[in-house]
Chains A and B, each alone.
Chain A
């Protein structure tokens, strides 16, 4: 067995408690919670909008970081040994607003119906809404959110999409905006898929890059052109498609009280680069199930108490949808802690 052991707390299924739990979102938080709950005798059903469980580990993070078999064999153990029931291609309360990864939805289930049918519910739906700055030309063909871009490449690799439906990269010029892990991955995948030229634009310097200087240097060694202290001001199109991007140079302000140095655009420093694609990797927003009457904060994150319970009794939340975009490991830990608390609530409060 070379898969992740989400049910690492036990070797086999213990005797059942008779309780039924629904988990919405089969990413690291949801699957770790499922592992905890099956090891404590609960019946677990996992709903996910994607065609396979794994979330960002499978559909966002490139294969050269997380091998596909690690995730696939991992959820298969949950399914085959611990009898977790997976409902793929299923979205809970679909709203009109589109988010990344909606491409595969076949079934839609009402959130309140789910709450009624289970003893407890865990929401671990992550942050699938991409932020795209409101500049001229973002509606052009060839402008993509990084997550959606990576998602399609990974879907093709996993066999859920044909390669014809993936943005063709051979001989193309690509600019990635941002310097976090998603930006790095988007630049790397573009190179691997044969892009002719890859640029990266970041408004601060390599020292501030969230992905770390090491990753940026690695990309530069592989031929990526690093354009630090630049911001996109407009995207120039031709026949509805991207032709070029206009960037403006910035300088960093003196550090403010918090020590952060703000990028200040330099008047008259604009310049243009010819590109075929513009990929925005400038942040992700939480995507809780639509139509759920649950308290969220001003950034859209689900609010939970110390028990990981939302404003609705018996409905818990964990992972990025609570904390905002973080790391796989933090989502795993959050999922485990939420599951522990759900177990306590199921056995002591709900009974």
Chain B
């Protein structure tokens, strides 16, 4: 069953909870991290588990594979640390782990999924900016949230004419 982990940049408030939780689970090396742009906008960067994953296609030793949920996973035993995946990843995700001496990245919380839980960042994001599930379920939820946002923005324009308390 294909499942996706989707981070929505327009809903993210830059609170760094996803990063904190991931940092805790991976002992100081989070796989999702907030970067601040020149204008101070927070952008969470993490693996998007691409359907046609460039990292997987380029890996010369076939160390990158997909699991039953469609999570793109790197096998540290096979990885030779050539950084080709980093070179082609559109999001700059793959990261060299000095201790493991291989490239590592988000595995969509594989251990948690095995136990019937969801990726920790998704479970804890206070803004519900991270979604997990079947593509159609995630899309429905994203659209629902977006609809609410549009409504809120429309009401807030009216609030200049004093309807603010309707919020």
B24 close to A193 (CB less than 8 A): no
Contact with A along B107-131 (1 / 0, CB 8 A): 0000000011100100111111000
With an 8 A cutoff between CB atoms, is B146 at the interface? no
B126 close to A337 (CB less than 8 A): no
Partner of A2 from the list B16, B116, B117, B128 (CB cut-off 8 Å) is B128
With an 8 A cutoff between CB atoms, is A215 at the interface? yes
Min CB gap B49→A, angstroms:
20
A163 close to B127 (CB less than 8 A): no
For the complex, what is the distance from the CA of A214 to the CA of B17, rounded to whole Å?
Answer: 21
B159 close to A336 (CB less than 8 A): no
Min CB gap B50→A, angstroms:
25
Partner of B159 from the list A57, A191, A330 (CB cut-off 8 Å) is A191
B17 close to A63 (CB less than 8 A): no
B124 close to A8 (CB less than 8 A): yes
Partner of A193 from the list B37, B41, B124, B164 (CB cut-off 8 Å) is B164
Supposing A65-B127, A169-B164, A192-B164 touch, asked if A328 and B24 sit within 8 A by C-beta, the answer is: no
Nearest to B148 among chain A residues (CB) is: A67
Q: Please name all residues of chain B whose beta carbon is closer than 8 Å to the beta carbon of A192 when the two chains form the complex.
A: 156, 159, 164, 167
Contact with A along B5-26 (1 / 0, CB 8 A): 0000000011111111101100
With an 8 A cutoff between CB atoms, is B2 at the interface? no
Min CB gap B117→A, angstroms:
6
Partner of A212 from the list B39, B116, B124 (CB cut-off 8 Å) is B39
For the complex, what is the distance from the CA of A65 to the CA of B129, rounded to whole Å?
Answer: 10
With an 8 A cutoff between CB atoms, is A85 at the interface? no
Partner of B40 from the list A8, A57, A163, A212 (CB cut-off 8 Å) is A212
For the complex, what is the distance from the CA of A201 to the CA of B51, rounded to whole Å?
Answer: 48
Nearest to A156 among chain B residues (CB) is: B165
Supposing A213-B40, A337-B24 touch, asked if A332 and B167 sit within 8 A by C-beta, the answer is: no
With an 8 A cutoff between CB atoms, is B162 at the interface? yes
B39 close to A328 (CB less than 8 A): no
Q: Please name all residues of chain A whose beta carbon is closer than 8 Å to the beta carbon of B117 when the two chains form the complex.
A: 8, 11
For the complex, what is the distance from the CA of A4 to the CA of B121, rounded to whole Å?
Answer: 10
A4 close to B124 (CB less than 8 A): yes
Nearest to A171 among chain B residues (CB) is: B162
For the complex, what is the distance from the CA of A157 to the CA of B167, rounded to whole Å?
Answer: 8
Q: Please name all residues of chain A whose beta carbon is closer than 8 Å to the beta carbon of B15 when the two chains form the complex.
A: 66, 327-329
Nearest to A63 among chain B residues (CB) is: B167
Nearest to B19 among chain A residues (CB) is: A329
For the complex, what is the distance from the CA of A171 to the CA of B116, rounded to whole Å?
Answer: 53
For the complex, what is the distance from the CA of A141 to the CA of B152, rounded to whole Å?
Answer: 31
Min CB gap B102→A, angstroms:
26
Q: Please name all residues of chain A whose beta carbon is closer than 8 Å to the beta carbon of B124 when the two chains form the complex.
A: 4-6, 8, 32, 332
Q: Which of B9-60 contact A (CB under 8 A)?
A: 13-21, 23-24, 34, 36-41
A336 close to B20 (CB less than 8 A): yes
A194 close to B120 (CB less than 8 A): no
With an 8 A cutoff between CB atoms, is A211 at the interface? yes
With an 8 A cutoff between CB atoms, is B160 at the interface? yes
B127 close to A332 (CB less than 8 A): no
Min CB gap B51→A, angstroms:
26
With an 8 A cutoff between CB atoms, is A219 at the interface? no
For the complex, what is the distance from the CA of A329 to the CA of B120, rounded to whole Å?
Answer: 13
For the complex, what is the distance from the CA of A329 to the CA of B24, rounded to whole Å?
Answer: 11
Nearest to A210 among chain B residues (CB) is: B40
Q: Please name all residues of chain A whose beta carbon is closer than 8 Å to the beta carbon of B116 when the two chains form the complex.
A: 11
For the complex, what is the distance from the CA of A66 to the CA of B126, rounded to whole Å?
Answer: 6
For the complex, what is the distance from the CA of A192 to the CA of B160, rounded to whole Å?
Answer: 7
A193 close to B165 (CB less than 8 A): yes
Q: Which of A175-231 contact B (CB under 8 A)?
A: 191-194, 209, 211-215, 217, 223
With an 8 A cutoff between CB atoms, is A333 at the interface? yes
For the complex, what is the distance from the CA of A214 to the CA of B167, rounded to whole Å?
Answer: 24
With an 8 A cutoff between CB atoms, is A245 at the interface? no
Nearest to A223 among chain B residues (CB) is: B160
A71 close to B40 (CB less than 8 A): no
Q: Please name all residues of chain B whose beta carbon is closer than 8 Å to the beta carbon of A213 when the two chains form the complex.
A: 38-40
Nearest to A170 among chain B residues (CB) is: B162
A328 close to B126 (CB less than 8 A): yes
A212 close to B127 (CB less than 8 A): no
For the complex, what is the distance from the CA of A5 to the CA of B159, rounded to whole Å?
Answer: 34
With an 8 A cutoff between CB atoms, is A28 at the interface? yes
For the complex, what is the distance from the CA of A93 to the CA of B38, rounded to whole Å?
Answer: 45
Q: Please name all residues of chain A whose beta carbon is closer than 8 Å to the beta carbon of B125 when the two chains form the complex.
A: 4
Partner of B120 from the list A8, A215, A330 (CB cut-off 8 Å) is A8
Sample of 5 A–B contacts (CB below 8 Å): A5-B123, A8-B117, A191-B159, A211-B40, A213-B40
| 4 extra A-B contacts, CB within 8 A, seeds A28-B126, A332-B20 | A8-B124, A64-B152, A193-B164, A328-B15
